[in-house]
Structure 1
Amino acid sequence: MELKQRINALVSLGKFLNEIETNAIQDEIEFTLRKAKAENGWFTIENIKFALQNWADALSEENLNKWTSKYNLHSFSETSVKNPKTIAIIMAGNVPLVGFHDFLSVLITGNKVLAKLSSNDKTLLPFIAKKLVFIEPEFNNYIEFTEGRLGNFDAVIATGSNNTSRYFEYYFSKYPNIIRKNRNSVAILTGNETEEDLNLLADDIFQYFGLGCRNVSKLYVPEGYDFEKFFKAIYRWKEIIHNNKYINNYDYNKAVYLMDSFPLLDNEFLLLKEDSGFSSPIAVLFYEIYTSLSDLKNTLKTHAENLQCVVTNETIDNAVPFGKTQSPELWDYADGVDSVDFLLNLPR
């Protein structure tokens, strides 16, 4: 299958996802969404549709051409068609379709996907893969899902926690691999942010209930920062507290912190706790006060391996604009590891 053929199929898939609200197979779509929601209490219909729309927007012909243009994929295709590699992808299930970019990367390079899905997200990707095969039947020989022990693969892309990564590193050490661990995202505020900036920051914090590595879990604020503007801007997310799983976490964390006499800022749906850590619990946002922006930038550089996104208006390497953490481009790679380059350089 030629590169242009693969791109055209993915463009058609993007159009299908973009028309999902009005598609003729509405019953099948609604069944799939309800099934995915039933399998994971954190997967609301709204969040699933948000993820699908993000991928619909990403899979434009312009984006796909821009993404692939930086690689020598045309000449590589001749080799990969003759000798495609099977890439085992072990996917996380914290947010809907979190492993879709790895799935795309393998297919766009002409390799074969052997996907082991998370039990928390095992419906959406097979549904999309089915549509992709319908659009381009040749993909049928390039996509396989397995629930059993992985076997007969050439390389691995695995995403998990810090604990599971140790298992992955041991088990897959003899294979070329990309193994991802826990990461978190932070935001740097100066006090000069506009109301719109803070409104967009609220999306970075609350989308997917804060479960993604691209969700902002910590704020850096200057001395004397007034949180009133921040709390006012995030108020539109107040309905999040009506999700049973979210409110259970909010109540639990609040009780634990109060018993330990930790000082908190509380707006009745989010707890702000001053903390030097990066990974805040659900319904909690850590914050830390800085005195020097240049010192803070240096500190974040030393912790780069723990960070997925740094959201700010300030000039900083790989800064992400407010409101964009959950809408990465095709060329934005998790952990900063170029998975397409990795796949193109596998031994042939």
Structure 2
Amino acid sequence: MTIESKKNIFVKLGRFLSQFSEAENKQREDVEGNAIFFDSFANLITLSQSHNGWYTPEQVHYAINSWAEALTDENLDKWLSMYSFDNVKSKRIALILAGNIPLVGFHDFLCVLITGHDVLVKTSSNDQHLLPFLAKYLIHIAPELESKITFTEGKLENFDAVIATGSNNTARYFEYYFKDKPSIIRKNRNSVAVLNGEETKEQLIALGEDIFRYFGLGCRNVSKLSVPKGYSFNAFFEAMFEYQDVIQYEKYANNYDYNKAVFLMSNFQLLDNGFLTIKEDYSYASPISSVFYEYYENLSDVEKRLLTDTDQIQCIVSNNLIQNSIAFGETQKPKLWDYADNIDTISFLLIT
């Protein structure tokens, strides 16, 4: 298959996904495979929360819409034009996927197939349905992919390289177990917002999207704030009020009650608005329903620390205060060329 033909397959997938939104699911006549897959996918979206309590229809639709927007001719052309795909020798690439947010492993899956390799997928127990369904759709519109896509629930065997995503603890196991294979091993990461007190209400509301999307379960979710000494959180909390409905979700509410109780029993000083606690803490990784914050006196000190801790950071959000930071509200809208952990997956696959 040529790179152009592979690109066109994923453009067709993007068109299929574009039919599904939280407002309505609307079939388009120009989308291939609807007679077989449209109703089944709509039902799967509805059932996703029964498979994983965090996968509410709103969150699943958001993930689907994000991929629909990414898988266009323009985006794929821009992304793939950065590489040469000449003389790629097909190999079998194993993927060990996370399940913290819907379709979190799709980018790795896409990268393997677009480079011409075969993919061996071990899904997370928390996300066992969405990606296999999309794989069936791809095989329907491009039957030649059937021999290139394998899902397994057992031990990974007969593969040439691996991309594995997990916690810091599982990463140590992966590094040992796959020490003789080319690999990308992904660990825990968190995202940080750097504020200076001059942010508009609209920017702070957008920051709430970075905090609350997927209930804060993703590595691209902001879990830590860096704020200037003497910063008032009044405007921050006022903006966060836009997301108060998050407490209506039982799993989130249970985490809020539990983590708040743990903090209070430990005599930690908290700021709380009834659905989010914020706590002064040096760490980057805050529990669900909580965001840590840290005061700074000089932005240069913040930049130095973030540079030192780059292996713990996924995204930095600010109003152009920090070099290479992204705008508020954009953390969960990565482009195809925005690689997890800043490791170029395509380049890895081309030289593997």
- TM-score, normalisation: structure 2: 0.95
Q: CA deviation at 1:253?
A: 1.1
The aligned amino acid for 1:127 is F
Counterpart mapping for 1:140-219 below 5 A: 140-219=146-225
Deviations 1:9-67 (A, max 9, x none): 11111011001321355431232123332111111011000000000000010000000
Whether 2:135 is the aligned partner of 1:122: answer no
Distance 1:26 1:10, change over 3 A: closer
Aligned to 1:22: 26
Q: CA deviation at 1:132?
A: 1.3
Contact 1:188 1:310 in 2 (8 A): yes
Aligned to 2:46: 34
Aligned to 1:137: 143
Deviations 1:108-127 (A, max 9, x none): 10111100000100100011
Deviations 1:150-202 (A, max 9, x none): 00100000000001001100110100000000000010001111111111100
The aligned amino acid for 2:263 is Y
Task: Measure, in 1, the Cα distance between the counterparts of 2:159 and 2:114.
Answer: 18
Contact 1:88 1:150 in 2 (8 A): yes
Contact 2:320 2:326 in 1 (8 A): no
Aligned to 2:58: 46
Whether 2:91 is the aligned partner of 1:85: answer yes
The aligned amino acid for 2:65 is Q
Contact 1:35 1:123 in 2 (8 A): no
Correspondence for 2:308 among 280, 302, 305:
302
SS at match of 2:173: helix
Contact 1:58 1:330 in 2 (8 A): yes
Task: Measure, in 1, the Cα distance between the counterparts of 2:190 and 2:170.
Answer: 17
Task: Measure, in 2, the Cα distance between the counterparts of 1:315 and 1:218.
Answer: 16
Aligned to 2:270: 264
Correspondence for 1:220 among 226, 231, 239:
226
Q: CA deviation at 1:133?
A: 1.4
The aligned amino acid for 2:177 is Y
- TM-score, normalisation: structure 1: 0.96
Contact 2:272 2:278 in 1 (8 A): yes
Contact 2:194 2:321 in 1 (8 A): no
Q: CA deviation at 1:315?
A: 4.5
How many corresponding residue pairs?
340
Task: Measure, in 2, the Cα distance between the counterparts of 1:225 and 1:41.
Answer: 36
SS at match of 1:323: coil
Deviations 1:63-92 (A, max 9, x none): 00000001012x2xxx33xx4111000000
Contact 1:269 1:283 in 2 (8 A): yes
Task: Measure, in 1, the Cα distance between the counterparts of 2:56 and 2:231.
Answer: 34
Counterpart mapping for 1:220-259 below 5 A: 220-259=226-265
Q: Structure 1, unaligned stretches of length 5 or more?
A: none
Whether 2:60 is the aligned partner of 1:60: answer no
The aligned amino acid for 2:341 is D
Aligned to 2:10: 10
The aligned amino acid for 1:128 is L
Q: Structure 2, unaligned stretches of length 5 or more?
A: 28-33
Aligned to 2:327: 321
Q: Structure 1 vs Structure 2: percent identity of aligned residues?
A: 55
Task: Measure, in 1, the Cα distance between the counterparts of 2:322 and 2:117.
Answer: 35
Q: Give structure 1 regions of 4+ aligned residues with deviation exceeding 4 angstroms.
A: none
